[in-house]
Chain A
Amino acid sequence: MTLVSIIFAGILTYFTRMTMVALISRDMLGDKVKAVLEYVPSAVFPAIIFPGIFINDFGAFIEMNDPKIFGALVAVIVGYFSKNIIATILAGLVSYWFLIFVIFS
């Protein structure tokens, strides 16, 4: 790993952040495009959530009785009703820990 490759990766990353903000003006995006862009959070974040739950560190699918599935379900339920970020994360983690340290240990 060289500093040069990090700098290239950094420049590339910066361009992904800057391009649409600095080079696109509102008039360039039509109403239809803007309506679709409303869905960006729902269209992007599950691509981080699903692999984070269903695929393990070795790139393989987890078993259907994996504690992560249970933890994620608890997080969804607690998050839905509490509308609280910390409660959502903690509920998911604690129920996951409960399974791996108490039930399956």
Chain B
Amino acid sequence: MLSKKQLFTKGMLDISPHMLSVIPFGIICGAIGVELGFNPYLVYAMSFIIFGGASQIVFLQLLSGGASSLVAVTSVGIINSRHLLYGAVLSEYLEKLSFIKKLLISYVIVDQGFAESNKFFKKNRSEEYLHYHLIGTGCTMWVCWQIATLSGIILGSFVPEELGLKFAIPLTFIAIVVQDLKKIDHVIVMITCGLSSLLFFDAPFKSYIIISPVIALFVASLLLRLKK
């Protein structure tokens, strides 16, 4: 049995390689807000209140492009609706927690944290304090995101744009799913999702980000039926 501290540390270690892409992205995110002419305090408030990378950039870009607040808020909600799927997967492991703890831990559920903690949970189901791994990944992400966006807001885009560091984001997610390329059913699901996301990229409110997973999960359910 691992202690709470050991699990928390394991979570921190498991997510920390992703900071290589998260930190430059956070700096860019903070800098964009100021460049678009928004109040720096409000740009930072987003990192604390919304705490969702891509959705924060979309929110800023929509508002600066003259979209209404309603459209911007709706888009953030739709982009982040993928968390519903993460929650559904994680609920199995977090079931024993009290309602209050569930409410608190929910705030730090992020893409990379979900991915790494879910991998750990699958292999270590019997651990008593499993959720400390998720707290470890989530808190690491939270601290890095706050520092990165703050430095972008204060220092401006000191990351040279020519480096194209936004490209590190798809790379970080490639690192997450690449081992599943060994399984043909997963490959089919991934290709379905990827192609759908390109096909529906122009759908309103950035809804491709939830439409394509739904299509891919439908294909996954068909594959499961075929397997039997």
Residues of A within 8 A of B (CB): 1-10, 12-14, 16-22, 24-26, 29, 32, 34-37, 39-55, 57, 59, 61, 68, 71-72, 75-76, 79-80, 83-86, 88-90, 92-93, 96-97, 100
Q: A20-B87, A21-B90 are in contact. List 4 more A-B contacts (CB 8 A).
A: A35-B224, A46-B190, A86-B17, A88-B171
> Once the chains bind, are B224 and A75 in contact (CB under 8 Å)?
no
Whether B169 is near chain A, meaning CB under 8 Å from some CB there, is: yes
Residues of B within 8 A of A (CB): 17-18, 20-21, 38-39, 42, 45-46, 49-52, 54-55, 59-60, 63, 69, 72-73, 76-77, 80-92, 94-95, 99, 102-103, 105-107, 109, 111, 115, 118, 162-181, 185-186, 189-198, 201-202, 208-209, 212-213, 216-217, 220-221, 224
> Once the chains bind, are B106 and A17 in contact (CB under 8 Å)?
yes
Whose C-beta in chain B lies nearest to the C-beta of A29? B88
In the assembled complex, the CB of A19 is this many whole angstroms from the nearest CB of chain B, namely: 6
> Once the chains bind, are A52 and B89 in contact (CB under 8 Å)?
no
> Once the chains bind, are B77 and A79 in contact (CB under 8 Å)?
no
Which of B18, B167, B198 touches A71 (beta carbons < 8 Å)? B167
Whose C-beta in chain A lies nearest to the C-beta of B60? A1
Which of B106, B202, B208, B209 touches A14 (beta carbons < 8 Å)? B106
